[in-house]
Homo-oligomer: A and B are copies of this chain.
Amino acid sequence: MSHHPNARTTDQLRSFIDRLERLRAEKKALDGDINDLKTEIKGFGLNPKAIEKIVKERAETASQRATREYTEEQAQIYRAALGMLDGTPLGDAARERLSRKPDEEDGAEQPATPAPAAITAEDIAGARERGQVDFAEGRKVTENPYVAGDPRRAAWDEGWCAASGSDGMDIPAAFRRPEKKKPDPKDPSDGENPGPDDGG
């Protein structure tokens, strides 16, 4: 007993507790940092929630993303069936899905995107460039020349946005979150263009 060789157990216990507490503290600190960052984002005029959404998406694995999108497609199909499609037409994926014959169901890796046939990567790049040009020439973002379902449509969008982001304005208006002008919660001018009641 002179040299209690295992007050060690108690020491270990103490050490475990210390380590646990330290780890929890670090986690808490990170929470603080994240909050600070969100504040900074808000202060900069951007929308933290939207950014978080993007971060979450980027964190998804391929299969998670697939599942999520797949579910969303089905939801859209159901909405259409129920007559709930309210100004948000079917997405491309849902559209493509509906156009399949029953027996070519999933698995069967057929051409997939039905129409665009001959669209190449260059076409895409071209569309992007054209979006930039169109912006420079004063066309509006609503004047995308490509039809929905055409992959070039998104590319043109990107080009237009890219150009619009480098035009000298400090923050493009649409990027900014509108001022918190406490909108009367009783009349959200429902359905028109709401703007936020920032907390949901």
CA distance A177 to B78 in the complex (A): 12
Chain B residues with Cβ below 8 Å from A166 are 1, 4, 6-7, 10
Tell me, rounded to whole Å, the shortest Cβ–Cβ distance linking A9 to chain B. 5
Q: Identify whether the interface residues of A are mostly helix, strand, loop, or mixed.
A: helix
- A37, A62, A178: residue with the most chain B Cβ atoms closer than 10 Å: A62
What is the interface size of chain A, counting residues whose CB is below 8 A from a CB of the partner? 134
CA distance A147 to B78 in the complex (A): 22
Task: Give the residue name and chain of the B residue nearest to A12 (CB).
Answer: B44
Q: A81–B12 contact, CB under 8 A?
A: no
**A126: interface (CB < 8 Å):** no
Q: Mark A124-138, 1 if CB is under 8 A from B, else 0.
A: 000000000000100
> 10 additional contacts, CB 8 Å, given A20-B55, A85-B158, A109-B192?
A20-B34, A27-B30, A27-B31, A50-B75, A53-B72, A68-B200, A93-B193, A99-B140, A107-B178, A112-B193
